[in-house]
């Protein structure tokens, strides 16, 4: 009798599947490295899902009926936060800033003065969708002086610009790996201050025995000394990818990674302006996010058609039409992670020039290339 043997293909170890278990010390070590990246001594929880998970968890943990939240809206994520805040029973004061700029610390301080009952502030640091970035240091000082908790969505700023969680007084600092870190999208993290833990512990409505529960992780993992079993099986592949991405940031140096993103932003803005028919949506350079540049399509040109025409010229460039109400006029160029490079920016400008030309608009491709190159050099020299 012959017994069929498994083929050698099924027996040989698979690099993604046949992995040894991820140990508790290794999981804890990755958390510590994320804490260093966030410049915080607060507890850092790695959350096992895309960054919307810790963002929602932070709001549902810290906010309850009777809370008054100041929700700073400088892009689409602020709108999402407003919905969660209201569903937690909070009274929400929306502070809406035009997508062409940033919110100022003075405006935040004014809103806090007008509503002394505010006890929670939600803020997005950099907005990949609208291409702007907010001055967190000054806003953080105003929030701290008022005594409210500050939640910061730093998904699109971590590794693209300085992020000083403790120095800025950020109580709930949320990051994801998929933007400037060039890492995985399936794990994220939140740094939680002692003040935030106090608020969460006192909140009878904070999620418990739930995938959104920060308290479950605190009790079962952080306070248990991080040597016990994790509350859920660790997301093995994503954790290894996060570790590899931290290794790569360490090898390049965080300052160099940040400088590369700043240069990519400056070069994209200068190059787009030099094309002649595109405008930068974000007016002032200081308000421009290092991860993405939003451009205004020329009059009479639909941004969605321009994006499609640019992608016909070069399908590899990180250009997309904006989502939502601005889709007809706003074009988005991403320049984060592997796209924040000296070669991707000119390739993107060249594709935009081809797209503009195809649609009958003016485009000076060589002026754009030269302006981008000079801006890149100047940004690195700063």
CA atoms within 13 A on the CB side of 30: 24
Q: Is 179 in the site for ligand PLP (CB under 6 A)?
A: yes
What is the distance between the alpha carbons of residues 20 and 27, in angstroms, rounded to a whole number? 13
- Cβ closest to ligand PLP, residue 160 vs residue 371: 160
153 binds ligand PLP (CB under 6 A): yes
**Candidate residues 30, 40, 77, 262; the one interacting with ligand PLP per rule CB under 6 A:** 77
CA 233 to CA 22: how far, in whole Å?
A: 9
Q: How far is the CB of 366 from ligand PLP (least distance, A)?
A: 33
340 touches ligand PLP by CB under 6 A? no
Determine contact, residues 369/346, Cβ cutoff 8 Å: yes
Q: Using CA atoms, how far apart are residues 328 and 321, in angstroms rounded to an integer?
A: 8
Shortest spacing between CB 154 and ligand PLP, in angstroms: 8
Task: Give 319 or 375: the residue with its C-beta nearer to ligand PLP.
Answer: 319
Does 216 interact with ligand PLP (rule: CB under 6 A)?
no
Contacts of 5 (CB under 8 A, 6+ apart): none
Contacting ligand PLP within 289-328 (CB under 6 A): none
Among 37, 38, 51, 170, binds ligand PLP (CB under 6 A): 51
Is-contact 38 44, C-beta < 8 A? yes
Separation CA 235–CA 47 (nearest Å): 9
Residue 105 interacts with ligand PLP (CB under 6 A)?
A: no
Contact between 184 and ligand PLP per CB under 6 A: no
Give yes or no for residue 287 binding ligand PLP (CB under 6 A): no
43 touching ligand PLP, by CB under 6 A: no
* Cβ proximity to ligand PLP, 183 vs 298, nearer residue: 183
- Nearest of 132, 134, 156 to residue 143 by alpha carbon: 134
Binding part of the chain for ligand PLP, among 86-94, 150-158, 226-234, 360-368 by CB under 6 A, reads: 150-158
Q: What is the DSSP string of 174-235?
A: EEESSSTT---SS-EEEEE-HHHHHHHHT-TTS--SSTT-HHHHIIIIITTTT-S--SS---
Give me the least distance between CB of 53 and ligand PLP, in Å please. Answer: 10
Q: Quick check: 58 binds ligand PLP (CB under 6 A)? A: no
Per CB under 6 A, 128 contacts ligand PLP: yes
Nearest to 166 by CA among 134, 195, 199, 200: 195
Considering only 150, 156, 272, 319, the residue that binds ligand PLP (CB under 6 A) is 156
Q: Which is nearer to ligand PLP, 50 or 171 (CB)?
A: 50
Backbone φ, ψ for residue 183 (5° rounding)? -115, -160
Interface residues with ligand PLP (CB under 6 A) are 50-52, 77, 124, 127-128, 153, 155-156, 176, 179
């Amino acid at each position: 009798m012959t017994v069929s043997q498994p083929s050698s293909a099924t027996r040989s170890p698979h690099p993604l599947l046949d992995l040894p278990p991820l140990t508790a010390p290794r999981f804890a070590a990755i958390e510590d490295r994320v804490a260093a990246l966030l410049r915080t001594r607060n507890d850092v929880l790695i959350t096992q899902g895309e960054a919307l998970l810790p963002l929602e968890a932070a709001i549902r943990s810290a906010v309850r009926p009777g809370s008054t939240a100041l929700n700073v809206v400088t892009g689409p994520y602020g709108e999402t936060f407003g919905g969660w805040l209201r569903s937690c029973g909070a009274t929400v004061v929306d502070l809406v800033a035009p997508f062409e700029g940033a919110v100022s610390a003075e405006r935040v301080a004014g809103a806090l003065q007008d509503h002394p009952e505010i006890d929670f502030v939600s803020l997005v640091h950099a907005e990949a969708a609208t291409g702007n970035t907010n001055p967190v240091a000054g806003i953080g000082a105003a929030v701290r002086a008022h005594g409210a908790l500050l939640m910061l969505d730093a998904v699109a700023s971590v590794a693209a610009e300085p992020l000083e969680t403790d120095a800025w007084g950020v109580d709930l600092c949320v990051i994801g790996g998929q933007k400037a870190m060039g890492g995985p999208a399936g794990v994220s993290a939140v740094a939680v201050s002692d003040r935030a833990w106090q608020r969460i512990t006192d909140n009878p409505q904070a999620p418990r025995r739930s995938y959104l529960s920060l308290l479950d992780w605190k009790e079962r993992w952080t306070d248990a000394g991080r040597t016990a079993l994790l509350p859920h099986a660790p997301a093995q592949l994503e954790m290894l990818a996060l570790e590899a991405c931290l290794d790569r940031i360490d090898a390049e140096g965080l300052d160099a990674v940040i400088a590369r993103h700043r240069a990519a932003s400056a070069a994209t803005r200068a190059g787009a302006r030099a094309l002649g028919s595109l405008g930068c949506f974000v007016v002032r350079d200081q308000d421009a996010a290092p991860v993405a540049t939003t451009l205004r399509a020329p009059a009479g040109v639909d941004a969605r058609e321009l994006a499609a025409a640019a992608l016909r010229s070069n399908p590899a460039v990180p250009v997309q039409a904006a989502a939502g109400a601005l889709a007809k006029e706003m074009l988005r160029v991403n320049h984060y992670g592997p796209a924040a490079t000296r070669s991707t920016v000119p390739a993107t400008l060249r594709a935009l020039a081809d797209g503009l030309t195809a649609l009958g608009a003016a485009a000076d491709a060589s002026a754009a290339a030269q302006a981008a190159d000079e801006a890149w050099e100047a940004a690195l020299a700063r």
